[in-house]
Every structure is written in C-alpha cells, then in structure tokens.
Amino acid sequence: MAESQKTEQPTSKKLSEAKKKGNISKSMDVGQVVSIFTAFFIINVIGFFIYRNLISNMQSGFAGILVNDFNEKTVNTLFVNNMKDIVIIISPIMVGLLFVGILTSYLQTGFNLTLEPLKPNFTKLNPISGVKNLFSLKSLMKLVMGIAKVAATGIPAYFIIKKEIATVQDMSGLGFAGVFVYAWQAIFSITIKILAILFAIAIIDLIFQKWQWKRKLKMTKQEVKDEKKQADGDEEAKRRIKNMQITMIRKMMMQDVPTADVIVTNPTHYAVAIKYDSSQAEAPLVVAKGRNIIAERIKEVAKEHDIPVMEDRFLAQTLYKTVELGQEIPAQLYQAVAKILSYVYKLRSKV
C-alpha cells in the first residue's frame, strides 16, 4: 500500500520533465503587483511630461478644428495625430511593463520556452474533474487570497480617503492643475500602501504555488526506484560503450607495436612504444603505451617482433603521463629519447 502512495519528493529529473511540458510553479499575483508598481513609478517620474503633452495636444487639436472646417477629414486627421502622440507618451510605460513582466517571470521560473501548454487537452473538459477542482485546496486558497486582496485594498483605502475628506472640501480654489496634482499624489500614496500589502500576499501565494507544484509532482517509492534503475541502466550502457571504445583503441594500438623502434619500460608497471621516421614526423612518436597488464602485453608483442626493450624509469613514466598516442614527444625529452634510439640503431647496425 505504501508503495503506491506518493510520499517521495520529486527528483530533479521529474522536475525538469515537468518544466519542459510547461508545468511550472508561478504566482500571477507577483507579476501583477510588480507591474502595477512599475507603472505608477514611471508615471510618477514622467507624470508632468505626460500631463503637459496631453494638455498641449488637446489644445492644439481643438484649436485646429475651430480654425478649419469641421468635417470628417479634419476629425480623422485629429484622431490619427492624437493617437500617435498618445502612443509616444505612453511608450515608456509599456516598455517598462514589458521588461518587468519578462524579468519577473524569469526570476520565478527561469528560461523555459515550450509550446506544450498550447496543445489541446480534452481532459480539461471533463465535468467531473471540474467539479473536483471547485472543492480543491487550490480553489480554497484562491478564495482566501481573493478575500485578503479585497480587504487589503478596501480597508486602507477607506481610512485614507476618510482622512483626506476635509482636504478635498477645501480644494475649490486650487484650480484644475492644483486639483490634478493633489489627486495624483493622493492616488499614488494610497496605491503604494495597498501595493505593499498586496506584495506580502503575493509572496505568500508564491510560496503556496511552489509547495503545491512540488506536492502534485510527488512520486511513489516504486517510481523513484524505477527512475534510479533507468538512470543506472543508462550509466551502465555508457560504461559498456566506453569499455568497447577502449578495447578498440587498445587493439589498434597493439597493431602499431611491431612498427616501433624501441619499447621504454619502468620496467614492470609502464611500457611506451616509440617510433621515429624522419620522412613522416619531425620528432619521435608514441605509437603505444600502457601500464601493468597492458604494459606486459606490449612487451610480449615487442619480443615476438624483435623490438628492443630498454629500461628507463623516469622516461617511461614521463612519456606515459604526458604524451598521448600518436603525438610527438616534447622537446625537453629529445635528448633522453635520442640516446636510446642511438643505442638501438647501433644494435641494429643502422649507424
């Protein structure tokens, strides 16, 4: 029974697969609160610019209508010009909102581009599932959050407006500009206080969404075992492939041992086969190397083909550790290798 219950936390693989399918943990409230704050902040910074341009556009537009004939063409021209000006005026706000929206989404979910959520899912049309969702923990949390939002926006606004009523009654002599400035300051003050409360609620919602997301992705003990078995199987396959590659390399390497001029040994632990052909390379090459069993096999092949075996502990270890198969020996080892090759050539009466 316990094996079928989802009691285990989701593995990193399960979380990664869920994200690829578009199943991510994200709070919409965080994005909304940050976007509203961004909009109000930008408006507060460039509010005078917006106000001045709107008034100027309205005055010039209506003045043009009074001067020109009032017909369909002038109205269309006025509308198009005003729309262009409005787009220019509000473009900083739109750009700011776009940037903040992308940044907020990225901070919550990271970069996760997928088209899976756009695919039709007819299981969502199941009325039984819909009824179950109405009485789920998620629906209850939405109801609680909705009540909290209403309280967070309504109660502070009520007390702030109640406090400002006396000031509003004495605004008759301020004129349009004074009323506009005061109204904006009051709205901004109320909004900032409300947003602070809403942001705290959004953080709670974010934590809840994260917790619920992982809760839905929980796994049974059997699923964890199966995933581990599959991962171990993949690792085993990789090891087999690697061993096959190593075997092939060793087989090819052993075929090159008979072409070597000399085998330098440790004498028991390391063996390195060196070949020098001035027509093919500027320096001697390492055509085979190995340690322990492979070293013994290299020496056996060398003995079968009458390849001289020379003992030089330092040179054998250095060549084995620093020079790869098919590479030329480094310049600092030229003298040591030259002495050995010279001796071998003398034995073969090549010099």
**Model confidence, pTM:** 0.44
What is residue 128's predicted lDDT score, i.e. its pLDDT?
Answer: 59
Sign of torsion over alpha carbons 333, 337, 339, 342: negative
What is residue 3's predicted lDDT score, i.e. its pLDDT?
Answer: 53
Q: Which helix (H) or strand (E) holds 349?
A: none
Is there a contact between 38 and 96 (Cβ–Cβ < 8 Å)? yes
Q: How far apart are CA 124 and CA 197, in angstroms?
A: 34
Domain-by-domain residue ranges, the chain?
Answer: 8-219, 253-347
Is there a contact between 320 and 272 (Cβ–Cβ < 8 Å)? yes
Q: What is the DSSP string of 120-135?
A: --GGGG-HHHHHHHHT
Q: How far apart are CA 341 and CA 339, in angstroms?
A: 6
What is residue 1's predicted lDDT score, i.e. its pLDDT?
Answer: 45
What is residue 351's predicted lDDT score, i.e. its pLDDT?
Answer: 43
What is residue 71's predicted lDDT score, i.e. its pLDDT?
Answer: 65
What is residue 41's predicted lDDT score, i.e. its pLDDT?
Answer: 81
Closest CA to 265 of 233, 299, 237: 299
Fold classification of 253-347 is name from scop (3.40.1690)
pLDDT tens, N- to C-terminus, the chain (351 residues): 445 677 777 777 777 777 777 677 777 788 888 888 888 788 777 777 776 777 776 666 666 555 555 666 766 776 777 777 777 777 888 888 888 878 887 777 766 666 555 566 555 555 555 555 555 666 777 777 778 777 777 777 777 677 766 666 566 566 666 666 777 777 777 778 788 888 888 888 888 888 888 888 888 877 777 777 776 666 667 777 777 766 776 777 788 888 888 889 987 788 999 988 877 778 888 888 888 888 888 888 888 888 888 888 888 888 888 888 888 888 888 888 888 888 888 777 654
